[in-house]
Amino acid sequence: MPGSSLLPHGGPDGPHRIRAIGFGAGDYAFNLYWQTVSLYLLFFYTDSLGLTPDRAGIIMVVGAFADGLADLAIGFAADRWRLRYRRIVAWGTVPLAILFMLLFIQPAMSGEYTFALVLTVHLSFRILYALVNLPYAAWSTRVSDHATDRTLMSGSRMTFGALGAVTVAFAMPARGEGYGGMALLLALVATCVLAAVVWRVPEQVSDDGPQAVARSIRRDLGALSHNRPFLMLGAATLCVTVAGAIIGHSVLYYFTYILSAPVGGKQALAIMGVAGAVAVPLWTAVAMVIGARASWLIAAGVGMLALAGLVLWPAVPGVILSIIVLAMVQAAMSGFHLAAWAMLPSAVDHGESIAGFRVEATAFSLFMLVQKVGLGLAALLLGLSYAHWGYEGGTPDAAGRAAIYWLMVAGPFATIAVGAAIMGLSPRPDQASTNISDTPSA
């Protein structure tokens, strides 16, 4: 693993702008994996493998919890030992690609054996994904200490992540056929991108080992439990994560079985990815002017207004109107993500000011655990609800179609509203804590 790096602008101690931007390419690779799993895997389980929605939902939620617990474990370790994040990413890149390809293989068995095998592969992928992705996220704090670099890195990561979502939406087939071959191609691309990031971007490690080893998990968790801004940010983020996951999982079902336009679902996912990418610089500008907390509340208004418009539209929503609404909701989701990652470092700073010591990697891992739990709960809610209303894969009846529609609209509306209420009640940050230029987005 050569130690060469992207050539920086300025001297060795100055800003490294190209390096900061190049580091964000890693999010393109991770989102090739993550967006495929988030948008297509549940549909693949029910309509290609023939799993019942409730069983598919159980697999997704168990995987999400395992993913989040793995995040937490490596976060605890990172706050105690001087882990070389770059090395972990390097070693995990190829095994992660292999497990991703196995997710979309149709096993030559049926019944309980299929469920057990699918659950095993899913758990293995999610745990390894966490063990590679969290070090990548934490690595961002060791790329550069300059505020300008961190701003560029935050924007670069979100932009590359959105481009990954667009790539997945365009590349994956509209129905369940052909997922395995496309998963192979996506895994190859992701592996090459991560290898390039590992090769070209260095990692700066500070000499604070003895202080870190003296810490305890109980002490760190105790400090976080008294950090009100961190707790409320986590609660609000859980709400919007559930909202986004419900919409993401529902798109293919909605366009295939409600609008009878499966190709429209593929187009919607692609346009949603583009909308999310375009919205990033807009939300960045808004947050820098009025603060991350206020931009969150505006994003909540945009998302709720779009979903309400879909329900109140006098006629049956068509493909075009549905795509416009979903694009608006996705733009709002970009606002939530930007605001959350802008406020998280400030919440960590606040915790340090009241506890007298800094809890960083553990805070990041808990925050990511909250997101993974939200993703899993959304999949479980959909699976159990679909099963309750009689949908078992294939073409649903009238009750199943009603469940697909109302879960996609009412569920996100309610969770976005709750998240906005929590954010409105959260401590009002001062101007310094809403300055996103110091945000290591992850």
The answer for residues whose C-beta is within 8 angstroms of residue 317's C-beta and 6 or more apart is 259, 310, 325
- DSSP state letters, 294-358: HHHHHHHHHHHHHHHHHHH-SS---HHHHHHHHHHHHHHHHHHHHHHHHHHHHHHHHHHHHHSS-
Helix (H) or strand (E) holding 56: helix 53-78
pLDDT of residue 438: 34
pLDDT of residue 119: 94
Distance CA 35, CA 123 (A): 17
Distance CA 39, CA 267 (A): 13
* Radius of gyration (C-alpha) of the chain in whole angstroms: 21
Residue 263 carries which side chain, given as an amino acid letter? V
Helices (H), 172-291: 179-200, 209-213, 217-225, 228-253, 262-290
Residue 282 carries which side chain, given as an amino acid letter? L
pLDDT of residue 174: 67
The answer for residues whose C-beta is within 8 angstroms of residue 46's C-beta and 6 or more apart is 52, 53, 56, 393
pLDDT of residue 240: 96
Q: What residue ranges define each of the domains in the chain, with the CATH number in brackets?
A: 20-437 (1.20.1250.20)
Distance CA 143, CA 80 (A): 20
Distance CA 174, CA 268 (A): 11
Chain-centre distance for alpha carbon 339: 14
Helix (H) or strand (E) holding 204: none
Distance CA 376, CA 254 (A): 20
Query: Which of 416, 401, 382 lies closest to 41, judged by CA?
Result: 382
pLDDT of residue 8: 39
Distance CA 390, CA 32 (A): 32
Give per-residue burial for 369-407: e unless 16+ CB within 10 Å, then b.
bbbbbbbbbbbbbbbebbbebebebeebeeebbebbbeb
What's the pTM value of the predicted model, to 2 decimals?
Answer: 0.74
Distance CA 172, CA 86 (A): 30
Query: Which of 333, 331, 362 lies closest to 347, judged by CA?
Result: 362
On the 0-12 / 13-18 / 19+ scale of CB atoms within 10 A, 315 is exposed
Q: Specify whether the CB–CB gap between 8 and 18 falls below 8 A.
A: yes
φ, ψ at 333 (rounded to 5°): -60, -40
Nearest-10 Cα torsion for 51, 55, 59, 60: 90
Distance CA 36, CA 40 (A): 5
From first to last of the 442 residues of the chain, give the pLDDT tens digit: 434 344 333 344 444 667 777 888 899 999 999 989 988 898 888 888 888 888 888 898 898 888 888 888 877 776 666 667 788 899 999 999 999 999 998 887 776 788 899 999 999 999 999 889 888 877 776 776 665 666 667 677 888 888 898 899 888 886 656 788 899 999 999 999 999 998 888 776 555 444 444 557 788 888 888 889 999 999 999 999 999 999 988 998 899 888 988 888 888 988 998 898 889 888 888 887 888 889 999 999 999 999 999 888 877 788 999 999 999 999 999 999 888 877 887 787 788 788 887 777 788 788 888 888 898 889 888 888 888 887 776 678 888 888 889 999 999 999 999 999 999 998 764 433 433 333 333 3
Side-chain half-sphere CA neighbours of 290 within 13 A: 11
Place of tokens 């992701």: 190
Query: Which of 201, 264, 148, 187 lies closest to 23, judged by CA?
Result: 201
pLDDT of residue 245: 92
pLDDT of residue 220: 80
pLDDT of residue 205: 59
pLDDT of residue 79: 63
| Rounded (5°) CA angle 19-22-25 | 155
Question: What are the structure tokens assigned to 246, written together?
Answer: 């419900």
On the 0-12 / 13-18 / 19+ scale of CB atoms within 10 A, 43 is buried
N residues, the chain: 442
